[in-house]
Amino acid sequence: MTNVTTHAIQIKTSIPGPKSKAILDRRSAAIPKGLSLSTPVVVDHAHGALVTDIDGNTFLDFAGGIGVLAAGHTPAPVVEAIKWQAEHLLHICAMVATTENFVELAEKLNAITPGNFAKKTVISNTGAEAIENAVRTAREATGRPAVICFEGAYHGRSLLTATLTSKYDTYKKNYGPFAPDVYKLPFPYLYRKPDYLTDDQFIDMQIAAFDHALTAQVDPSAVAAVIVEPVQGEGGFIPTPARYMEHLALRCKQHGMVLIIDEVQTGFGRTGKMFAIEHYNVEADILVTAKSLGAGLPISAITGRAELMEAVHVGGFGGTYGGNPVACAAALQSLDYMQKEDVAARARHLGDLMRAEFTRWQADMPIIGDVRGLGSMLALELIDDAATKHPAKSQTNAIIDAAAQRGLILLKAGLFGNCLRFLMPLTIPEEQLMEGLAVLEASMRAVVG
């Protein structure tokens, strides 16, 4: 499809265009296929929610660098902070010397993360590194080895975090043996519960299964931590039911297990709260952040109860680049910008608009099996049979391809690869959101009829 022009989207060539095709050919020759690519777009520049490729095509971005761009592409205050810092200091290593913005960022995270108790923060580079640090902290603080995680979870691709992660074929195939003392339990995936159970009955069943595992699989006296996402990200944007989350917190408190809340994808306004755990009557012992923290620069953090964080011996935390001054400068301005723009309120508004459209489509598009999520962190689970809920994986891929041809960048998710997930910048103007949704609807109807 060529010459597609709406208010924001401008498609002038086939996708990929000739210049992009040449770069993609070079990518295939230079970079292994193991690094996947969801859309054939070669980017020249991006601002807000708009991405322009090297052929002059402008797309709407509903992927946001996989949830990194809550503040949008190239927000001016962040760009200026990066420029200033880059001119003054690129790197020193936080284990060699200290920069003020490194300390200031830790202070900021200690202040804004939920929990009315003393906190300390460790800054690192990636979500996986932060999860590793969280587990290390829990193990050293408790003197216990075991970690409980959940089916459908995604926590990273390092050896430990891949062990904690589901979806074997994509993330774990030919990678093991995996880390020991990790126990993966069923997750209350409400859409795929047995038809004869109500939601409450199914949650009760999953609560009972969790408690049973503390006898059948591992004694709580051996468990250092329970790690959970408030909304499963790669799992298909499945919110953890409130009653289930509260039960996890209760058992952690009863047995001295550390509750690690993974907010790498949910954090910083995406769910309609600054942090998704604020939807629950629960406080994290350790809260993990990354992605939108740096507005595009690699940075992550764990923020936890001070007494837990202080349990780690001197030298137990570290890394060459953790707390890099340019990344810290970006993070401080990103946090300030997101707070000033009230991205959490914006996410609630965007989510309301999206749900209204998705519900309308669902009435005459039976491929939409489920509409779910919190705030603007929404997903559509696509099926090709209402009775069996068989995943419509091939149609999901076809819709993403069709949308790209029409100028919309999309992502999939889900244990079965059959969910469309939406991670657009929270600063997206309403008219651009609606334009993107119109393109999505047209793409879906073109694929499914």
Mean pLDDT of 326-341: 98
Return the percentage of the chain with pLDDT > 70, whole number. Answer: 99
**Which pLDDT score is estimated for 4?**
55
- Check if the beta carbon of residue 299 is closer than 8 Å to that of residue 329: no
**Which pLDDT score is estimated for 7?**
87
**Which pLDDT score is estimated for 5?**
59
**Which pLDDT score is estimated for 2?**
45
Q: What is the pTM of this model?
A: 0.96
Would you say residue 267 lies in a domain? yes
Lowest-confidence pick of 2-6, 108-112, 160-164: 2-6
pLDDT for 175-211, tens place per residue? Answer: 989 999 999 999 999 999 999 999 999 999 999 999 9
Would you say residue 284 lies in a domain? yes
d(C-alpha 308, C-alpha 240), whole Å: 25
**Which pLDDT score is estimated for 3?**
54
DSSP type of residue 73: B
Would you say residue 443 lies in a domain? no
Quickly tell me which residue has 């390092």 as its tokens: 158
pLDDT for 218-228, tens place per residue? Answer: 999 999 999 99
Domain count, the chain: 1
Of the candidates 344, 353, 378, the one whose C-alpha atom is nearest the C-alpha of residue 432 is 353
Would you say residue 104 lies in a domain? yes
Would you say residue 304 lies in a domain? yes
Its sign, for the CA torsion 96, 99, 102, 103, is positive
Mean pLDDT of the chain: 97
pLDDT for 52-106, tens place per residue? Answer: 999 999 999 999 999 999 999 999 999 999 999 999 999 999 999 999 999 999 9
Would you say residue 237 lies in a domain? yes
- Residue 91 sits in a domain whose CATH number is 3.40.640.10
SS3 per residue for 404-437:
HHCCEECEEECCCCCEEECCCCCCCCHHHHHHHH
Band (6; pLDDT cuts 50, 70, 90): low
Domain boundaries, position 158 = 76-341
Would you say residue 137 lies in a domain? yes
Would you say residue 49 lies in a domain? no
Its sign, for the CA torsion 67, 68, 74, 75, is positive
